Amino acid sequence: MLSDSVGSAAPHSQRLATACQRIGNGPAVVLVHGVGMDHSFWKPQVASLSPSYSVIAYDLLGHGASPLPGDPATLAEFSEHLIALLDALAIRTAHLVGHSMGALVVLETALSFPDRVASVTALNAVYCRSAAHRAAIIQRAHDLVLDDAMIEATIARWFGSPIAPEQQHAAAEARALLQRVDPTGYRRTYRLFAIADTAHVGRLPTLKPPALFLTGELDPNSTPEMSRAMARIVPNGRAVIVPQARHMMSMTAPEEVNRLILEFLDACEATAAVAAPRAAQHGR
């Protein structure tokens, strides 16, 4: 099933229109992309997950065909936008999978609306950047101009320089998405991303759903230590580092990333199936 857009009533009575794609049957899995991308970023994951799950990929606020976030943007409105999408699709609970900025959104949603979230998979998430990294990204956000030079610098951070021959196609796809992103939406979202690495400090120990933190061994900005640090303080968290992978590993190493996501989702579903009869017996 393919839905080009969904209208829904968000909290605070704000009307939101969301561009999304829904494919497959089974438990719901929502895919949340990062800054500068759109729902098509998830093509390899949609193909892999949809035989077993109902997979929803949508455009973040300020991206694709979705409306702009506020100025300044907040994680709360991105989270509310996701919950509004679930409401519009009549989905009570869903597994959430987010990449980079999308990882921050799914963590915020799980912390704010725990009863709506079956599990969290955070790919290439940022957490407590070093002082040098934080200063660098804040400076980039301040100076942001969406031109060819900035796009090429972004592609180099994501894929390395020079780009490996086997990753040229993925880099070209990412470049094309950056070239057509709405400049205002990109700017507002990136400025939020630049300061949101500490948004969940002190809150992650209260995260209720099971959580998988995945990042690449060679990701210089969403580092392995960040994922390990989050997994250590989440009650039911686990970190897995993908060898030789960088920031866009869902595009460049989709087989391994998809395998890890599927294993985690299947394990969560199996655990939930065992727990459900027990909960029913206790409720009698």
Instruction: Write down the catalytic residue from 54, 100, 222, 227.
Output: 100
Cα separation of the two ends of the chain: 38
Determine whether 236 is an active site residue: no
CA gyration radius, the chain: 18
Determine whether 124 is an active site residue: yes
Residue whose C-alpha is closest to residue 28's, from 107, 68, 108, 82: 82
Q: Where are the alpha helices (DSSP H) in 113-240?
A: 131-142, 148-159, 168-180, 183-195, 224-233
Under 8 Å between Cβ of 73 and 105: no
Quick check: bond before 114 cis, omega within 30? no
- Name residue 170's amino acid: A
Instruction: Write down the catalytic residue from 54, 124, 227, 250.
Output: 124
Determine whether 3 is an active site residue: no
Q: Where are the alpha helices (DSSP H) in 50-115?
A: 75-88, 101-112
Instruction: Write down the catalytic residue from 33, 95, 99, 247.
Output: 247
- Name residue 115's amino acid: D
* Six-digit token string for 110: 């799980």
* Six-digit token string for 196: 């949101």
* Six-digit token string for 219: 């990701």
**Burial environment of residue 110 by CB neighbours within 10 A (0 to 12, 13 to 18, 19 or more):** buried
Which residues carry out catalysis?
100, 124, 247
